[in-house]
Structure 1
């Protein structure tokens, strides 16, 4: 299928061939009929992409701050790879469309295949022939409403949410500053609510259009006409509400809002304009400044948008989806008219040229629609306690090491191509002799196409079954969200593939048991979990310098994990497990490797009100490891520090930058600054060697299972408030 994409580094726009997205549970697969270009938001993004690197940095100081923090935490080389990987990738455009449901995922019962739906979201309602859209970001189109009008649903919801924030009442007077697409819709919605509207925009054509659609008067923001209209309609008191629907770097809109508002009026920011509020003017009138967050309640909440958890109507009357349905209803009943706003309808195949004309000013438009071709053929089917037992590893079957030619290249498939895969794994594999990147599989078409372009995969697809059924593929990398790791690992093992799965291996005991059942059924134990720190060269050298241990050891591991950004999927504990369940295995594995044993007990305590954890692990022979996993530490402090003390010797690791050993002989690593190497390169090399030669996997399966069971036991200890014995641990 085709999709409009842009490379943010170069500014290149393209109509790219990408795989068809899979139809996941909780959503629907939609074939686009019409999609709407947001001439404000999208053209701003297109313009930013054409800037120099310095210009991009100046336009996004929030992202610059994140880069600076990443440098402090991960070092310059890793940060550079991460940033350039994001910049030099195709990103999607679009967020408002209407289409026909082609396939319905599990858990959807209010729409069916063949229904016409309006869709929202800058990750789901894209300018693409097919999109997977979650339940709460699409709604049925009322009978009789044309798709070209229903495609306005998302931008209409943005305007509607802004009007709701203004709490307009019958008979009031409102000023709308900025009469682009959103401003025109705000003006119509206010007029339909019985509010008299005055518009302000420097474009005479837009002013004339707003008046034709019901505004009482419109004019240039700097002209006397707007002030005269406000004085006449309000008796000199000023408008009741001001809606800022303008963009750009001028502070004129907020200054005009203060001058023309009544005492204790309301100012609602809908667009993205400069907001240097003149303090005296806003203070003297005690103006109520409000922000309108996109389509309404639910926006940026992954539990609402991705998991389909609706808000009770008694508590939240107008959610994103209800706003979307409401605006479509207003369109169907003729209370809002979008036909006069449509300046141009372009064929989807002409998308790149259409954006160029808009950017260059050759095409002056309020709203532009893409019209999609009829499908040539039917779309193909898409994929649809106190004691914790450590599961015993039983190997059955006859496929301990899948047969392969020792001389041929190891052919790899990646399931998932997110940030970690593209910044920390694939760069090491693309430069490795004897490795062939065969296929990348993702549920979103564009991420697969990006990975194929950047890393040289022979194929990109959304069809996992085709990969698992391909006998030429030697190993499968599972680099997806945590909730899918165990099932994908199980399926790949049953298909006879060697498997590299990022941590965690499993989020529950049942998931872990399912993986081991697949090992027993197939006899395929070719499994590696991405516990990379035991492969870090600096830590391995320090362990070698420390020497053989004879007595019990004490290990302390401080992990300054830091806070997560709002909206991070790591916060989706209902589906993705706790943050420690996802990441803690790294540190337990490192401790176990240093101590040369698997843990036999786990005791965990948490700090009330946050996710800080203290985990004490007991080991055979009396050794202990204390993990302090904290989210409340300072951003500039090192992420990982470790101390190991035993037999009159001490080993110290400072964030994989420096290490030392103190004892009869002292050893200190080089003081020259080096990039942090947390072992991914060596880990991948060991995995590829094992796959090529059929030898043992880099980490014994029993150790992977023990680490996973200990990670899961942390939650059991927290729930019971007592230590947990790992029954069956070696």
Structure 2
């Protein structure tokens, strides 16, 4: 299928051929009829992409702060790879469309194939021929409403949520600053609510359009006409509400709002304009400043948007989806007219030229629609049949010739895969990147372009059934690791799965069951720290020990950003379940044994943990996993003491070993690049697949580490140590 994309580093716009998305449970696959260009939000994104690196930094200081923090935690090279990987990737455009349901996922019963729906979301309602849309981000289109008008649904919801935040009442007077697409819709919604509206915009054509659509008067923000109209309509008291629907860096909108508001008026920010509030003006009138968050309640909540968990109507009357349905109803009943806002309709194949015309100013428009081939009335293609999962029988794999490359497939191509794994594999001698599989088409296309995969697809079954693929990398979200690993093992592939291997004992048992059923134990989990060159040398310098050891491992994990998918404990497990295996594996490798018991305690109110691991020879490892530490403190520090010797690791930058004769070894006195072992780990995995030799970490150890990680939360619940039984 085709999709409009942009490279944020170069600014390049393209209509790209990408794999079609699959139809997942909890949503529908929609073939687009019309999608709407948001001439404000999208053009701002397009303009930012065309800036220099310094310009991009100035426009997004929030992202610059994240980069600085990443440098402090991960070092310059790793941060550079991560940032450049994000910048030099195709990103999607679009967030408002109308289309026809082509396929219905499991659990969906409110629409069927062939129904017309309006869709929302900057990850799900893209300028693309096909989109997978979760339950709460689509709504059926009312009978009789034209698809081109229904494509305004998302943008209309933004305007509607802004008006709701202003709490307009019959007979009030409002000022709308900025008469672009959102401003024109706000004018109509306020007029439909019985509010008289004054509009302000420097463009005379937009002022004239707003007056035709119901505004009492409009004019340039700096003109006397706007102030005169407000004085006449309000008896000199000032407007009851001001809606800021303007963009740009000028502070004029907020100053105008203060000047023309009545005492204790309401100011609602809908757009993205400068908000340097003049303190005296806002204080003296005690103005109520409010923000409108996009489409309404549910926005940015992954449980609502992705998992389909609705908010009870008794507590949240107007959610994101209900706003979408409400706006479509207003258009269908004639209370809002979007046809006068349509400045241009372009064929989807002409998307690049259309964006360029808007950016250069050659195309003057309030709203632009893309019209897609095969839209309703022109014979939509039938829905593709669901692909059944084949029964797989494991066959002995042929002996590999020394000159045959190891063929790898990646399932998932997120940040970790593209910044920490694929750069070490792309171009490696004896390795062929055969296929990349993702649930979103664009991420697969990005990975194919950047790393040279032979194929990009959303069809996992085809890859697992391909005898030419030797090994599968599972680099998806945590909740899918165990099932994908199980399926790949049953298909006879060697498997590299990022941590965690499993989130529950049942999932771990399922992986072990797949090994027993297939006889395929070619499994590696991404426990990379045991492969870090600095730590390996330190262990060698420490040497053999005869007595039990004490190990202390402090992990300053830090706080997660709001909205991080790591916070979705209901589906992705706890944060420790996700990454704690890293640290348990490192301790077990240093102590040359697997733990026999786990004891865990945690203070209330945060995710900090104290975990004590006991080993067969009496050694103990104390793991302090903290999320409340300072951001500038090193992430990982480790001390190992035994037989009168001590080993210290300082965040994979410096290591030292001391013995009883006062001799010492210091790995580095100068900070250098943090190498946490990914490259060596991948080299060992590829070598094992090529030669058929033992996997880098024994399966017994992988299972024991995973079982110990899961036992931490069992121990927290019971308040007692958890004994670890010998695993199969």
Aligned position for 1:389: none
Aligned position for 1:364: 364
Aligned position for 1:471: 467
Aligned position for 1:26: 26
Aligned position for 2:623: 627
Instruction: Give the SS at the match of 1:350.
Output: helix
Of stretches 476-485 and 375-384 in structure 1, the one that deviates more from structure 2 is: 375-384
C-alpha distance in 1, partners of 2:402/2:486? 25
Of the three residues 461, 484, 492, the one matched with 2:457 is 461
Q: How does 1:575-586 map to 2 (within 5 A)?
A: 575-586=571-582
Q: Kindly indicate whether the alpha-carbon contact (under 8 Å) linking 2:394 and 2:491 is maintained by their aligned counterparts in 1.
A: no
Q: Kindly indicate whether the alpha-carbon contact (under 8 Å) linking 2:641 and 2:647 is maintained by their aligned counterparts in 1.
A: yes
Does residue 241 (structure 1) correspond to residue 237 (structure 2)? The answer is: no
Per-residue CA deviations over 1:80-122 (Å, capped at 9, x if unaligned) read 0000000000000000000111111111111111111110000
Aligned position for 2:693: 695
| C-alpha displacement of 1:380 | 3.1
Does residue 487 (structure 1) correspond to residue 483 (structure 2)? The answer is: yes
Aligned position for 1:718: 716
Q: How does 1:34-433 map to 2 (within 5 A)?
A: 34-374=34-374, 377-382=381-386, 403-433=399-429
Instruction: Give the SS at the match of 1:107.
Output: coil
C-alpha distance in 2, partners of 1:370/1:326? 23
Q: Kindly indicate whether the alpha-carbon contact (under 8 Å) linking 1:243 and 1:267 is maintained by their aligned counterparts in 2.
A: yes
C-alpha distance in 1, partners of 2:150/2:241? 28
Per-residue CA deviations over 1:602-659 (Å, capped at 9, x if unaligned) read 1111121111111111111111111111111111111100011111111000000000
C-alpha distance in 2, partners of 1:579/1:64? 25
Aligned position for 1:537: 533
| C-alpha displacement of 1:377 | 4.5
Does residue 593 (structure 1) correspond to residue 589 (structure 2)? The answer is: yes
| C-alpha displacement of 1:379 | 4.8
Per-residue CA deviations over 1:451-472 (Å, capped at 9, x if unaligned) read 0000000000000000001000
Instruction: Give the SS at the match of 2:407.
Output: strand
Of the three residues 664, 671, 674, the one matched with 2:672 is 674
Name stretches of at least 5 consecutive residues in structure 2 with no aligned partner: none
C-alpha distance in 2, partners of 1:599/1:402? 37
Aligned position for 2:555: 559
Instruction: Give the SS at the match of 1:589.
Output: helix
Aligned position for 1:452: 448
C-alpha distance in 2, partners of 1:704/1:262? 67
Q: Kindly indicate whether the alpha-carbon contact (under 8 Å) linking 1:254 and 1:275 is maintained by their aligned counterparts in 2.
A: yes
Does residue 644 (structure 1) correspond to residue 634 (structure 2)? The answer is: no
Q: Kindly indicate whether the alpha-carbon contact (under 8 Å) linking 1:400 and 1:523 is maintained by their aligned counterparts in 2.
A: no
C-alpha distance in 2, partners of 1:729/1:2? 49
C-alpha distance in 2, partners of 1:297/1:572? 18
C-alpha distance in 1, partners of 2:397/2:613? 33
C-alpha distance in 2, partners of 1:379/1:439? 25
| C-alpha displacement of 1:405 | 3.0
Of stretches 440-449 and 661-670 in structure 1, the one that deviates more from structure 2 is: 661-670
Q: How does 1:611-626 map to 2 (within 5 A)?
A: 611-626=607-622
Q: Kindly indicate whether the alpha-carbon contact (under 8 Å) linking 1:551 and 1:647 is maintained by their aligned counterparts in 2.
A: yes
C-alpha distance in 2, partners of 1:377/1:316? 38
| C-alpha displacement of 1:406 | 3.4
Per-residue CA deviations over 1:270-307 (Å, capped at 9, x if unaligned) read 00000000000000000000000000011101111111
Aligned position for 1:508: 504
Residues 119 and 214 of structure 1: CA distance in aligned 2, closer, same or farther (over 3 Å): same
Of the three residues 497, 513, 518, the one matched with 1:517 is 513
Residues 177 and 79 of structure 1: CA distance in aligned 2, closer, same or farther (over 3 Å): same
C-alpha distance in 2, partners of 1:523/1:560? 40
Q: Kindly indicate whether the alpha-carbon contact (under 8 Å) linking 2:557 and 2:625 is maintained by their aligned counterparts in 1.
A: yes
Aligned position for 2:703: 705
| C-alpha displacement of 1:673 | 2.6
Instruction: Give the SS at the match of 1:10.
Output: coil
Instruction: Give the SS at the match of 1:309.
Output: coil
| C-alpha displacement of 1:728 | 1.9
Q: Kindly indicate whether the alpha-carbon contact (under 8 Å) linking 2:394 and 2:490 is maintained by their aligned counterparts in 1.
A: no
Task: State the Cα RMSD in Å.
Answer: 1.2
C-alpha distance in 2, partners of 1:655/1:49? 35
C-alpha distance in 1, partners of 2:503/2:399? 31
Of stretches 611-620 and 36-45 in structure 1, the one that deviates more from structure 2 is: 611-620
Per-residue CA deviations over 1:147-203 (Å, capped at 9, x if unaligned) read 101100000000000000001101100000000000000010000000000000000
Q: Kindly indicate whether the alpha-carbon contact (under 8 Å) linking 2:103 and 2:383 is maintained by their aligned counterparts in 1.
A: no
Instruction: Give the SS at the match of 1:273.
Output: coil
C-alpha distance in 1, partners of 2:130/2:613? 49
| C-alpha displacement of 1:205 | 0.4
| C-alpha displacement of 1:399 | 5.9
Of stretches 602-611 and 434-443 in structure 1, the one that deviates more from structure 2 is: 602-611
Per-residue CA deviations over 1:436-479 (Å, capped at 9, x if unaligned) read 00000000000000000000000000000000010000000000
Q: Kindly indicate whether the alpha-carbon contact (under 8 Å) linking 1:22 and 1:382 is maintained by their aligned counterparts in 2.
A: no
Aligned position for 1:394: none
C-alpha distance in 2, partners of 1:191/1:551? 82
Name stretches of at least 5 consecutive residues in structure 1 with no aligned partner: 385-396
C-alpha distance in 2, partners of 1:650/1:23? 55
C-alpha distance in 2, partners of 1:523/1:173? 75
| C-alpha displacement of 1:672 | 2.7
Instruction: Give the SS at the match of 1:126.
Output: coil
TM-score, length-scaled by structure 1? 0.97
Instruction: Give the SS at the match of 2:289.
Output: strand
Residues 601 and 230 of structure 1: CA distance in aligned 2, closer, same or farther (over 3 Å): same
Q: Kindly indicate whether the alpha-carbon contact (under 8 Å) linking 1:3 and 1:128 is maintained by their aligned counterparts in 2.
A: yes
C-alpha distance in 1, partners of 2:26/2:598? 36
C-alpha distance in 2, partners of 1:82/1:170? 53
Aligned position for 1:656: 652
Per-residue CA deviations over 1:549-578 (Å, capped at 9, x if unaligned) read 111111111111111111111111100000
TM-score, length-scaled by structure 2? 0.97
| C-alpha displacement of 1:727 | 1.7
Instruction: Give the SS at the match of 1:476.
Output: strand
Higher relative contact order (CA 8 A, sep 6+): 1
